[in-house]
Structure 1
Amino acid sequence: MNSALDKSRIDWVDIAKGFCILLVVMMHATLGVEKATGEPTLLTGFIEWAKPFRMPDFFLISGLFLASRIDRPWRGYLDSKVAYFAYFYVIWLTIQFAMKAPGMIAADGAEATLLAYLTGLVQPWGTLWFIYMLAVFFVTAKLLNDAPKAIVWAAAAMIYFAAPHTGWLLVDEFAARFVFFYTGYWAAPLIFRYAEAVAKSPLALVSAALVAWAAINGLLVANGLAFAKGLDLWVSYAGVAAVVAFSVILIPTWPGRALAYCGRNSIKIYLAFPLFMGPARVIALKLGSIIPDWAASLISMSAGVVGALILAHIVNGTRFDFLFKRPKAFTLSPSRQSTHRPAERIAVI
């Protein structure tokens, strides 16, 4: 495969991740405004429309390149797939708790707040549940590496359809998401071939197919069929396929380049956007007589994304770059060959 095609493969992946991280931040921004006002916004329908594929796409893409890493020795694998995510989870759990602690202490007391923090080390907490589950999925895939992939996928699908609601986020989200992560790993060659086929297809044909899918997805969401067990998995897969096609046709465009940038920095955005989204929402809602609620949602969304990117840029190379760069002290016994490597930046997932 030539270098241009290799680059295209990476480009659409970055665009898809960028698109999905914006959808995730938009969801949180919109739900925050709706909670504060007690009323839905004009964005509510769009948020629901994207629900079938928003997180499935993120997890599926996270598994796309696992085949090149899964056969690594356990120590190196655990370092890059567990210790790596655990470091950023604990750092940002602590930061988010520090922001919320005064209000939590006032409402529930210091002991309950401390217990909530300690529980967050075991029970995935807040917006950080995504990176917690990624570590779990990478370990699960490694443990099942010798099992037939079709059987693993079938088991994951059965767990998905069982849809346990235990109240324990680790169990519930594993059941709801692992099938997509494993699909990304197992079906990666097929997915890349599909993306190549889209790239070679007439733009008008792909665009028409996307419009048709968007309409059908909207109808399925509106009547609840998109979330009906037995059908929801396939609706999600269709949505992921649409995101891949959408990302491929955006490669040569400036929106595509902007989304690719967000995609390359998606984990930085995911970690830091709550720091800026909340304050921006408070300010935007104070302008309620001037701007509508949906605009307040977009303002807080934009503040979350742009603020996270600016923060990552500002701290780079400073004493605070541990926010987005794992120091060597927090790696698992590096080998002699890697002893002198620099601190590890947040990787592209």
Structure 2
Amino acid sequence: MNTAPRFLWVDISKGIAIIAVVLLHINFQFYESKYVPLTALLGSLWHVPVFFLLGGFFLKEEKLLQTTSFIKGKIKSLYYLLLYFYIPAVLLHNTMLYIGFYDPTISYGGKIMTIWDVSEMIKELILSICLAGREPILGAMWFVYVLFIALCGLSITSKILHLLIKDKKKYEWIRCATLLFFCILSSTMTNLFGFTIPRFNNTFTAMWLIYCGYILKNNFHLNFTNKFICLISILIVYHIATMQGGVLLNANQYHDALTLTISSIAALYIVNYTSQKIEKSYIGHILAFCGKNSFYIMGLHFLGFKLGTIILSWIGIKQNLGELMAPAQSSFVLLLFYLIFSVVFSLLFITSLRQLKAIVEHLSISRFYNQKSQ
């Protein structure tokens, strides 16, 4: 495969996954039965695992082993972006309570919203900087925190093992066994013993999934174009969905590491196969644009839900603005409205911000040359 199509279909796959994430953050009464577990099939079984798998596609061994430069790169590309979202969200915490974006009577993942004084504000800012931010309106950004930590952890683990093991084959097998062991241990602690440290246990799960994506792309060189493997993957995903339902990687809750790995890879094959089939279509380009900007959709779609609720109130449709998940209930029309509006808002926001930045940079350069010419 040449470079352009590869990047295009990967972006489409990310677009499919992020649409599934937004869809299942809408409070809608999806049809459910033991034969058709719709929520699991629409994404709760696979959307976040697929993101982690795709996160390993373009890792390079030589860069992983350059731990210092690799981590510095991830600090610039992921950590700083997180802070650009989290610091304003924390500073606006009290404001969001005043305007009704938060409801003090609602529990947001076990967290009750209260007005913060200066000391509490500083405490929350420090927690955000230390990868422990929990501002509800950025609830989906736990994924980026874990992705950042997992990528750094994968680089450190690879470097240590590379220094200890000189034989390349042994190194790869031992790295695989080590990461799988950490994933199994993490799963056991969470799902068997009920012991979970947020953004610690699921980091080991993420490291394993990222590594699997890396191996599939760089060692096995899968091109995800075999229709028979796609059909088998559909059977696997359906079977696991009916037997076990979805997974909740935010809380590191899933049945076991083996089932998670199999279902995630099978779902990845389906998504990537579909992406390549539609990459030349109009919908394919739309999904690719969503995929390229999936970080911003993840960070802004909860805000989009609230703005959507405000717009609905203007036409007489009253919803609780304080609800974190979009309150579509049993209305399919509201489901589509919240889904489309939140995604479009996120894309318009980041596109406008980039254009504004480009204008400011252009004006700054023009002023510099004007002053120089004078």
1:228 is paired with a residue of what secondary structure? Answer: coil
- 1:188 equivalenced with 2:217 (yes/no): yes
Equivalent residue number for residue 339 of structure 1? none
Matches within 5 A, 1:43-62: 45-49=37-41, 50-62=43-55
- 1:128 equivalenced with 2:116 (yes/no): no
Equivalent residue number for residue 114 of structure 2? 107
Counterparts of 2:70 and 2:204, CA distance in 1: 23
2:63 is paired with a residue of what secondary structure? Answer: coil
Q: Choose 111-120 or 269-278, whichever is displaced more.
A: 111-120
Asked if the contact 1:48–1:221 (Cα under 8 Å) also holds between the matched residues in 2, the reply is: no
Shift of 1:19: 0.6
Percentage of matched positions with identical amino acids: 16
Distance 1:282 1:220, change over 3 A: farther
Distance 1:118 1:98, change over 3 A: same
1:107 is paired with a residue of what secondary structure? Answer: coil
Query: Which is greater in Rg?
Result: 2
Counterparts of 2:246 and 2:128, CA distance in 1: 36
- 1:140 equivalenced with 2:147 (yes/no): no
Asked if the contact 1:16–1:263 (Cα under 8 Å) also holds between the matched residues in 2, the reply is: yes
Instruction: Give RMSD over aligned pairs.
Output: 3.5
Distance 1:7 1:256, change over 3 A: same
Shift of 1:307: 0.6
Q: Choose 146-155 or 254-263, whichever is displaced more.
A: 146-155
Equivalent residue number for residue 25 of structure 1? 22
Shift of 1:133: 2.1
Amino acid at match of 2:123: L
Asked if the contact 2:10–2:275 (Cα under 8 Å) also holds between the matched residues in 1, the reply is: yes
TM-score by length of 2: 0.69
Asked if the contact 1:93–1:128 (Cα under 8 Å) also holds between the matched residues in 2, the reply is: no
Counterparts of 1:26 and 1:234, CA distance in 2: 24
Equivalent residue number for residue 336 of structure 1? none
- Gap runs ≥5 in structure 1: 34-39, 326-349
Equivalent residue number for residue 369 of structure 2? none
Question: Which among 273, 291, 295 is matched to residue 301 of structure 2?
Answer: 273
Shift of 1:75: 5.3
Distance 1:157 1:281, change over 3 A: farther
Counterparts of 1:211 and 1:186, CA distance in 2: 21
Counterparts of 1:59 and 1:274, CA distance in 2: 21
Shift of 1:271: 2.7
Distance 1:10 1:68, change over 3 A: farther
1:95 is paired with a residue of what secondary structure? Answer: helix
Asked if the contact 2:56–2:211 (Cα under 8 Å) also holds between the matched residues in 1, the reply is: yes
- Gap runs ≥5 in structure 2: 105-112, 162-170, 248-252, 320-327, 362-374
More helix by share: 1
Counterparts of 1:247 and 1:314, CA distance in 2: 27
Equivalent residue number for residue 308 of structure 1? 346
Shift of 1:48: 2.7
